[in-house]
Chain A
Amino acid sequence: MSIVREFCFTDMFKFNRLAWDPFIEDYNLSFFVTKMLQFPMLSQAVLAPNEQLMGYLLGESDKAAAGDHQLYGHVSVLAVDSEYRRLGVGSKLLERFHQLMEQQQKWYVSLYVRMNNRSAMRLYESLGYVKYSWLPNFYPDDHGYSLRLPLATDVAGKTLQGQQFIIKFYFIIMHVMLLIRAVLKFVLRH
């Protein structure tokens, strides 16, 4: 049960409950402002009947001229208040964004997620997102994945072709990385 509208600047004075979610990055003001100014129609907020902010999504899309290049949309932030979880707020926001991207005939939608954010992963996978690559130390305290959702334009599933094999072996890679880091530290210290 919700009100859907464009995310507006003054919402930032009221999104504290969402900003305190440990999985939500603390983006600075310029992040929000540039996204909102550049892609005004792609940011949305969902409000509860008492006008509390339930969740919001900031999106972007590349505006480059077509060609062989695969145009895509990107979900920059998706946040849902913990009191309003499991009500379909997140999927509603994403579905609307996918619709817009379909309208603009993009090839796929991409986003990044923390490796530990299991409930978010569940949501994305239920909507058809696929792990595209593994991003070691992408977050200050966690590794991340890049996920992709092919859209209708991408009939042959081309956008998933570059999918990196390391996803399957990420543990090996991670351990190698850790080892290298330890060695480097050791070398630097001596």
Chain B
Amino acid sequence: MAQQQGMDSALFERRLRPVYDNLEVGNNRKALQESEKLLKKHPSLMCARALKGLALLRLGRYEESHGCLQAVAEEKPVDDSTLQVLSFCYREMEQLEKIVELYQHAIKQNPGNEELLAHLFVSYVRVEDYKAQQAVALQLYKAQPKNAYYFWSVISVVFQGIRGPESSIPEKRKLYLALAQRMVDKHIKEGKLENEQEAFLYLHILKLQNKYQEAWDFLTGELCAKLYPGAPVSMKFELLKVLGNWRELNVLMEQLLEADRDRWDYYKEYLESCFELLKAPPSDDTMPPYTLDNCHKFLMQIIASSERKTRGPYLARLELHQRMRAQQLQAQKLIGDFDELIIEYFKLFGDKSCCTHDIALFLPSISMEQRQSLAAKLLQESGISSTSLPQSKEHMQQHICALQISRMCGVHIELTKDHLLAFYTALKLHYEHGHSAFGKQLLSTEMGPSDPYALLAANVMYDLTLRENESDYLFEALCLLQYVLRNSTSNFHVKLMSLKIYHMFGCLLGAQEMYDYLDIKQIQLDSMGYVHCNLLPLSGRFSGARNCYDATLKFFTNSYKERLEYIALTYRFCTFSKMEEFMNFKERLTNSLLYVACSVEAQLCDLVSCYGNVQQNLSAYVAMSIEPADDRISWNELSDNRDLEAIIRWDPLHLVFGKEERQESYDQEIEVLQLRSLLLRLFATFIDLYHPQPSAKAALSKTKTTNQEQGDEIATLELLRESWTGLHQRLRLMNYKPLSQRFLVNLLPTRLHLLLEMPYERFFDDLAQLVLDLYSGSAQLTMQCKQISENVTKIMELFVQTITESNEWNGKDGLWKRREHQQKVAACLEILSLYAFLLSVLNEKLQSCAKTKTKKKPTGDGKANDAPLPISEKERSQMVLELMRQLKHKLELCDATIRTWKPPTLPRELSSFMADMSLKPEVEATLIGDVSATFKESHELMVTELRNLLKDKIRMVAK
């Protein structure tokens, strides 16, 4: 090493450059060659060896890479470039502790080196060891008294108090926070506080300790004003709130509102302070008791003195009305009639699309009757009746707003079928009129101004479909939406709604088209994945689904490594105000339910659709590195990142239970994940028993360890089998209700009920027994084989029955049960495919065993002596062959049946459709034709894909 350090580092840098360059552009093979070339001349050059390790790692040659890196690490390098390369490798392999060790060694040889210490600090940050962080930060500060380092140690102390292992003990938490405060106090005394982030941190520490008065004093003090002039005023009023200083808050809010009259957050605080002042006893005699009159006067004065009409004070007045009523105060007397106020608001702001959301805020506070009469008044106010049309874009927006509110008030839901149909027709007409009158000169990036009519129409048609149990209405709505989409290509509401309807009808091709059209990327893959990705498992297409999972998983894995570096970044930028927030965000991404569910489904999907020979399939299986013995999902930390509000809705407020429905669906999704991950692990134990994972394979030569390990495998298998039946038992007892399908926007049912209804539990339970019996050669084996083949027959029958049923439904309503049937068919095929894969593995193993047995007779005899007459390996092999023969026969029957599966019949008579639109008959014909073609094509694609799957499986079990 000494020799190496002595050499000219610039020279080495030049020689290493080609290796770096090749790695950068991803030319790993060339990088490996270059590094080897360099190592021939300078065999001890550590950085070159580390780079060789990195190249090997990137090439997937893990064992060699590991050896190479290990050797370098053991020499305890100190030069920066080697350390950087090594820590890069460890980050890639997610062995973050090793980076810590690396720098610890380096520091020992180079105590007090600022750069190395900073690296060590960051390596502790990555593993979230706050205590060690603190120590290193102090060393850094000693080496180089920079403010940043001092505050690194302060924040590390804070984190020990609020996030570290001791944070759950109140006394410890208190201690740490007090220490952190003392540290900053000292710094303040010495006049060393420098910037806004440091001031923020101090405030934060005070608030964490509930020292609000101190925080207030600091915030309003001179130092803070100097360092942190941009401190959000929300800090001020939140402190006043917790301090209960309502009078001051009241004055402050009035000042703020005078300056900015359109701030809802200010009004909310203002009103709260008014109501608190009302409650407070008149403390001193100089002040008259507070009345809400003052509040009302203030609002009226703002309204009167504003030149430009802003929504703020009007909404605040409505809020005041609502709050007064909630406390049985005389709202009407002070402010006036509620309906009148709403109508006034509507007159002023009804031409803005946000008006609906604004008015909706106040609807829950009035009775159903009042809501409906209010809706009628607004509709009347809009001045549009069945015989008149809106005269301008603004007028139309008012009408739209009135209609949306009537739906929210539950007016539409009570109409009769004929009325609803007439209403739908009117909406269509309004859409078309609005489109031709006001929507012709739009940019392709703008949404059509009359599009909301069509969205509302689709919702109405869903209500009809639900009420009449007939899919025709919704199909018509889908055609309408597709028509709208042609006029208004950037309207994502229409795309989302069409996507939903396609899924409802099991039309995966249409759904995929809409999903692609939405162009969901980056973090949207997480928050919006539920509209498509989450509906794909068991939808009827395995490989199509797999591609979708891939795109989603790629986002998560790529961003995972980046996320580690961001935390380091928060320290580099000293962004104390964002650290906690970022850590929580990072955890939410890492534990996203969608991410975990997608990875499990992707693995199952791979097992179902593997199509190579046994060896290829097994190596694919090994590459998945499923370790059935340990459950890698941190169930308690899973996070629900879905953005359910992205989809627009105006459903009757009294029938929408957003929060409850969200929770219900989330709970069920978690149960589904439990089932699926357990299925995966259980199935993996079947394979592992016969084909031990490579790590175990290395020990194969020693019979004892092998036996022991296989004992472990058996124990795992039995344990998982128990959990499998236990889980099913629990889920049946839990008696989950299917998700409500009351409105178009509601989430589709989860797969929970499907999974419980289909014979998964029984099949894999029996399969576990078969695998065990086959392994031990138990006498019950014949019985078990019979049992399994009966199960297979049942599944085959279910498959045939579902398809027959589906074909029969075609006579009544081709779409109503389509999705359900497709799911059942897919589930049957999933079970049979997994079974086929297992049989092929068992067969291969038993055959090779039988062969080796005949060669090495003495060992075989010796074994047979101490066991009570197990069935011979040859016979077992025969049995497996027989099972394969039976399965092949059943799969062929399935294949014959699936060929008879007819595409869904669609409502041909859409006579009413487009009658009111200004469409030419040709346009109508092509539109409906296109939608119908999508359904047909989707069915054909699915059948082709499933038949290919069947063919692969037949090949797999054909011997």
Contacts and interface: CB of A to CB of B under 8 A. Distances in A.
Given A17-B492, A20-B492, A5 B234 contact: yes
A40 B490 CA distance: 32
Interface in A85-141: 86-88, 100, 103, 116-118
B581 A1 contact: no
Given A34-B569, A49-B315, A16 B230 contact: no
A40 B264 contact: no
Contacts of B352: 86-87
A10 B588 contact: yes
A33 B444 CA distance: 31
Interface stretch (A23-31, A147-155, A167-175, A181-189): A23-31
B736 interface: no
A88 B349 CA distance: 14
Nearest to A84: B354
Nearest to A99: B230
B522 A26 contact: yes
A176 interface: no
A33 B264 contact: no
Contact of A22 (B360, B490, B522, B646): B490
Interface string B422-459: 00000000000000000000011111000000000000
A185 B578 CA distance: 49
Interface in B555-604: 559, 562, 566, 569-570, 573, 575, 577-578, 581-582, 584-585, 588
A117 B584 CA distance: 36
Contacts of B523: 12-13, 29
A16 B646 contact: yes
A103 B310 CA distance: 27
Contacts of B643: 13-14, 16
A37 B527 contact: no
B645 interface: yes
A28 B490 CA distance: 21
A19 B353 contact: no
A70 interface: no
Contact of A118 (B443, B573, B584): B443
B522 A16 contact: no
Contacts of A118: 443
Contacts of A82: 446-447
A78 interface: no
A16 B562 contact: no
Contacts of B490: 20-22
Contact of B264 (A2, A84, A117): A2
Interface string B283-326: 00000000000000000000000000011100100000000000
A83 interface: yes
Contact of B443 (A30, A41, A116): A116
A39 to B, nearest CB: 9
B521 interface: yes
B701 to A, nearest CB: 48
B469 interface: no
Q: Which of A20, A22, A116 has the most CB of B within 10 A?
A: A20
A29 B562 contact: yes
Given A1-B264, A49-B264, A40 B578 contact: yes
A1 B312 contact: yes
B229 interface: yes
Contacts of A100: 230
A33 B311 CA distance: 33
A38 interface: yes
A160 interface: no
Q: Which of A9, A23, A47, A48 has the most CB of B within 10 A?
A: A9
A100 to B, nearest CB: 6
Given A1-B264, A84-B354, A87-B354, A37 B566 contact: yes
Interface string A36-53: 111011000001111010
A84 B353 CA distance: 7
A4 interface: yes
A8 interface: yes
A9 B570 CA distance: 13
A1 B264 CA distance: 6
Interface in B224-260: 229-230, 232, 234
Given A16-B524, A52-B645, A33 B582 contact: yes
B794 interface: no
A19 B315 contact: no
Contact of A52 (B357, B521, B562, B585): B357
A34 B567 CA distance: 10
B361 A9 contact: no
A40 B577 contact: yes
A23 B445 contact: yes
Given A4-B265, A37-B578, A38-B573, A48 B357 contact: yes
Nearest to B526: A13
A8 B582 CA distance: 9
Contact of B230 (A2, A23, A36, A103): A103
Q: Which of B444, B526, B643 has the most CB of A within 10 A?
A: B643
A3 interface: yes
B315 A28 contact: no
B796 interface: no
A19 B585 contact: no
Contacts of A36: 578
B584 to A, nearest CB: 8
B358 interface: yes
Nearest to A8: B581
Nearest to B570: A37
A83 B353 contact: yes
A6 B232 contact: yes
A41 B578 CA distance: 10
Given A1-B358, A49-B358, A84-B354, A26 B492 contact: no
B575 A37 contact: yes
B310 A29 contact: no
B518 interface: yes
B230 A50 contact: no
Interface in B348-368: 352-354, 357-358, 360-361
A116 to B, nearest CB: 7
Contacts of B664: none
B658 to A, nearest CB: 12
Interface of B: 196-197, 229-230, 232, 234, 262-265, 310-312, 315, 352-354, 357-358, 360-361, 443-447, 490, 492, 518-519, 521-524, 526-528, 559, 562, 566, 569-570, 573, 575, 577-578, 581-582, 584-585, 588, 641, 643, 645-646
21 contacts: A2-B264, A5-B232, A6-B232, A8-B581, A10-B585, A13-B526, A16-B524, A16-B646, A33-B566, A34-B566, A37-B569, A37-B570, A38-B573, A41-B196, A48-B358, A49-B357, A50-B360, A87-B354, A88-B262, A116-B443, A116-B445
Given A3-B264, A4-B265, 20 more contacts: A1-B310, A2-B262, A2-B263, A6-B232, A9-B585, A13-B588, A19-B524, A21-B490, A23-B445, A26-B522, A30-B559, A34-B566, A40-B577, A49-B357, A83-B354, A84-B353, A87-B311, A103-B230, A117-B445, A118-B443
